[in-house]
């Protein structure tokens, strides 16, 4: 439920009212706009009648929020959320996602060696990527496949961050790994963990931005509910990621649900990223899907890049070479200009 206070409500009245709402058992999320203060009641509002608040002369309006993802919902937070990444860190090139421009995240599926990671990092930076990705803990379908370098991979990623100044994105699979992620700018929650609710709750307490990927068989509303878990637990810096879903067709690795992008942008204020690499699973299709994602309204695009895709320990078939990535970036810059955005 959302309670909108009238303009110029005295702060003492506002505070007393908030105390009253808390005494009724609600957590209250306060949003001060230019004219109005909006109070979001978090908790079971089904037992409250909107009329019981309308009686106060300082209350302008009371709305039931249909969407159960109140904090992620645009009705509660009409303006786009933009998230600053790497801001204020020495020798890091900060970037902002969600401000209307396009941020490209690039790097290998898995971190394999220092040489591999640094060379890819330098190349993608040169082409205009703003964040470096690379998996250290890998969620593989087979227990016999390469599982990632683990803590050593995190170390290598942090040295690539130091060498290039690019903020970094990497996947967290278990709460037990969280201590290793202090200097990771963006924690990725992969498709397979989108509904690991204990993990999501734990992320509410960390300062890192979270890149939340849509599950293989999850609806967009479930994605928003998972974002809500993180936000309700205290971390509002959440980026949503469409990365393809399972459908009956198998000509691509997954089916890129491109209509999820305008839907999410309409329904939520959070930035939206598309990962065309995992969506299609074929490097030749990535450039077209990346361009389509930009035009569909994505705030960011995440692309897998490998210096030797044919030798990659994971997802080589969908990885672009640095040269191919450079061509994609030139193409994306043109599309961005048409959309009145920068890249």
Residue 216's closest CA among 275, 166, 290, 271? 275
Which of ligand PEP, Mn ion, none does 191 bind, CB closer than 5 to 8 A by kind?
ligand PEP
Cβ neighbours around 181 below 10 Å, total: 19
- Is 213 a residue that touches ligand PEP (CB under 6 A)? yes
Contact residue for ligand PEP among 125, 253, 278, 306 (CB under 6 A): 278
Question: What gap in Å lies between CA 199 and CA 295, rounded to an integer?
Answer: 33
Structure tokens at 280: 């299609």
Q: Which does 139 bind (CB under 5 to 8 A by kind): ligand PEP, Mn ion, none?
A: ligand PEP
Scanning 188-196, 220-228, 266-274, 290-298 for contacts with ligand PEP by CB under 6 A, the matching segment is: 188-196
Q: Which of 107, 135, 148, 271 binds ligand PEP (CB under 6 A)?
A: 135
Contacting residue, 62, 105, 109, 187, with ligand PEP by CB under 6 A: 109
Compute the distance between CA of residue 255 and CA of residue 148 in angstroms, rounded to an integer.
Answer: 26
The entry of ligand PEP, Mn ion, none near residue 253 (CB within 5 to 8 angstroms by kind) is: none
Question: Quick one: 29 or 278, whose CB is closer to ligand PEP?
Answer: 278
Give whichever of 150 and 204 is closer to Mn ion, judged by the CB atom: 150
Which sign does the torsion angle of CA 149, 120, 174, 234 carry?
positive
CB of 229 to Mn ion, least distance (A): 24
Contacts of range 330-335, beta carbons closer than 8 Å, 24 or more positions apart: 331/287, 331/291, 332/102, 332/104, 332/290, 332/291, 332/294, 332/301, 333/128, 335/291, 335/294, 335/295
List 185, 257, 299, 315, residue binding Mn ion (CB under 5 A): 315
Residues 68/228, Cβ–Cβ less than 8 Å:
yes
Give, as ranges, the residues between 82 and 111 that touch Mn ion (CB under 5 A): 109
Query: Phi, psi (5° rounding) for residue 185?
Result: -70, -45
- Identity of the residue, 60 or 317, whose beta carbon is nearer to Mn ion in the bound complex: 317
- The residues binding ligand PEP (CB under 6 A) are 109, 135, 139, 190-192, 213, 243, 278
Residues that bind Mn ion (CB under 5 A): 109, 315
């Amino acid at each position: 439920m959302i309670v909108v206070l009238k303009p110029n409500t005295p702060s003492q009245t506002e505070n007393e009212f908030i105390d009253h709402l808390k005494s009724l058992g609600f957590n209250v999320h306060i949003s001060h706009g230019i004219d109005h203060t909006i109070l979001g009641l978090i908790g079971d509002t089904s037992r409250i009648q909107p009329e019981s608040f309308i009686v106060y002369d300082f209350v302008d309006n009371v709305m039931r929020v249909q969407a159960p993802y109140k904090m992620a919902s645009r009705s509660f937070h009409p303006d786009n959320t933009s998230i600053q990444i790497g801001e204020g860190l020495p020798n890091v090139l900060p970037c902002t996602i969600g401000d209307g421009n396009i941020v490209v995240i690039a790097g290998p599926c898995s971190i394999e060696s220092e040489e591999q990671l640094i060379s890819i990092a330098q190349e993608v930076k040169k082409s205009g990527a703003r964040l470096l990705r690379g998996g250290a803990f890998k969620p593989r379908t087979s227990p016999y496949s390469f599982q990632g370098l683990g803590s050593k991979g995190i170390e290598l990623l942090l040295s690539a961050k130091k060498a290039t100044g690019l903020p970094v994105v990497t996947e967290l699979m278990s709460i037990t790994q969280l201590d290793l992620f202090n200097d990771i700018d963006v924690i990725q929650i992969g498709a397979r963990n989108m509904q690991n609710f204990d993990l999501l709750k734990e992320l509410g307490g960390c300062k890192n931005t979270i890149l939340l990927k849509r599950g293989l068989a999850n609806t967009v509303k479930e994605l928003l509910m998972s974002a809500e878990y993180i936000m309700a637990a205290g971390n509002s810096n959440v980026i949503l990621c469409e990365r393809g879903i399972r459908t009956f067709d198998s000509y691509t690795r997954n089916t890129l649900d491109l209509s999820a992008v305008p839907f999410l942008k309409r329904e939520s204020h959070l930035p939206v990223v598309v990962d065309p690499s995992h969506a299609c699973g074929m490097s030749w299709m990535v450039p077209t899907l990346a361009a389509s994602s930009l035009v569909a309204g994505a705030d960011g695009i995440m692309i897998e890049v490998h210096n030797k895709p044919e030798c990659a320990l994971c997802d080589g078939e969908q990885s672009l070479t640095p040269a191919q990535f450079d061509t994609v970036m030139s193409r994306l810059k043109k599309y961005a200009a048409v959309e009145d955005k920068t890249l």
